[in-house]
Amino acid sequence: MATASYHPALLLLLLGLLSAAAARPATFQQDFRITWSDSHIRELQGGNGIQLVLDQSSGCGFASKSQYLFGRVSMKIKLIPGDSAGTVTAFYMNSDTDTIRDELDFEFLGNRSGQPYTVQTNVYARGKGDREQRVNLWFDPSTDFHTYEISWNHFRVLFSVDGVPIREYKNNEAHGVPFPKSQPMGVYSTLWEADDWATRGGIEKIDWKKAPFYAYYKDFDIEGCAVPGPGAACASNPANWWEGPAYRQLTAEQSRRYRWVRTNHLIYDYCTDRSRYPVPPPECALGV
């Protein structure tokens, strides 16, 4: 019988794809664990979806069972409807290392009824954070599910909402700016009370008469290198799809949508906050 032979570059690509495919979750229970208050997390649709609950007794949280180094993570989330002031629903990646942690954050800041929902993004690299940006969402994220995605490689981190890029954070290590490229990160989510800062800087407090508060998740999707695991070596494999040219810079259509978001919906950018940074951080002049 003849044996199939592969060009070395093709073999690397196939191995990378197999590693990524192995990390794709099927159900919540299979690939995630509850980290905080299991009585406040309820599985729905046979584990394909979950409900997070916040009341005066507790919030809650969950995390992936594995950590990942590069790839793409997305979830569909339906946020708290009505008066959600003082609440924070977070979806983020974290290296779980104290002073040198890497972290990529989506934080959905609750609002008073009728006001836009704000999503805050932040990037920590080698323990350095304070890189917040805030965007007012252009739709009501509490009436239906929307897809929130973090993609991450050696070249950039990209935050997207329903496929629309809302933040691109580029690798500027050549200019002395740390970039999260060496530590695997777990996937986390929490629902918690933060009325000291979450809504209008803490002016709007949580109204516990409206509790309990609910957020819903479904369609968990992780495509990347699980660490530790059979895909541990694939993080350095340049043949992985997430390292390809299409994932190094925005397409023309993505660039158009990105400019639209930044022009019409960006409400805070640490790069322009002169009270915090009289001299802007170096990456700001390089295009973060």
71 has pLDDT over 80:
yes
Check if the beta carbon of residue 68 is closer than 8 Å to that of residue 232: no
Residue 226 structure tokens: 């699980």
The predicted-structure confidence for 118-165, as pLDDT tens digits, reads as follows 999 999 999 888 999 999 999 999 999 999 999 999 999 999 999 999
181: in domain: yes
Rounded to whole angstroms, how far apart are CA atoms 243 and 9?
14
18 has pLDDT over 90:
no
Q: Which residue among 107, 193, 223, 283 is the active-site one?
A: 107
SS (H, E, C) 195-213: CCCCCHHHCCCCCHHHCCE
Residue 171 structure tokens: 């690798």
Q: Of 21, 33, 238, 283, nearest to 133 (Cα)?
A: 283
173: in domain: yes
Q: Could you confirm whether 223 is annotated as catalytic?
A: no
Q: Give percent of the chain with pLDDT exceeding 90.
A: 66
Q: How confident is the model at residue 248 (pLDDT cuts 50, 70, 90)?
A: very high
The CA–CA distances, whole Å, from 190 to 50, 100, 170, 230, 240 equal: 12, 21, 26, 29, 30
DSSP code, position 115:
S
The CA–CA distances, whole Å, from 13 to 7, 17, 47, 53 equal: 10, 6, 32, 42
Query: Looking at residue 72, what is its pLDDT?
Result: 94
14: in domain: no
166 has pLDDT over 60:
yes
15: in domain: no
Q: How confident is the model at residue 12 (pLDDT cuts 50, 70, 90)?
A: very low
The boundaries of the domain holding residue 211 are: 26-286
CB neighbours of residue 59 within 10 Å: 20
1 has pLDDT over 70:
no
Q: Could you confirm whether 103 is annotated as catalytic?
A: yes
Q: Average pLDDT, stretch 205-216?
A: 95
Q: How confident is the model at residue 7 (pLDDT cuts 50, 70, 90)?
A: very low
Q: Which residue among 103, 149, 204, 283 is the active-site one?
A: 103
We report the CATH number of the domain holding residue 112 as 2.60.120.200
Q: Which of 143-157, 224-238, 262-276 has the lowest mean pLDDT?
A: 224-238
Check if the beta carbon of residue 50 is closer than 8 Å to that of residue 205: no
164: in domain: yes
183: in domain: yes
190 has pLDDT over 80:
yes
Helix (H) / strand (E) element for 14: namely helix 8-22
Per-chain mean pLDDT for the chain: 87
Model confidence, pTM: 0.88
Q: Of 77, 57, 45, nearest to 187 (Cα)?
A: 77
State how many domains the chain has: 1
Q: Average pLDDT, stretch 1-6?
A: 41
Q: Return the higher-pLDDT residue of 197 and 254.
A: 254
3: in domain: no
21: in domain: no
Q: For residue 29, what are the contacts with CB-CB under 8 A and spacing of at least 6?
A: 43, 47
What 3-state class would DSSP assign to 273? coil
Q: How confident is the model at residue 97 (pLDDT cuts 50, 70, 90)?
A: confident
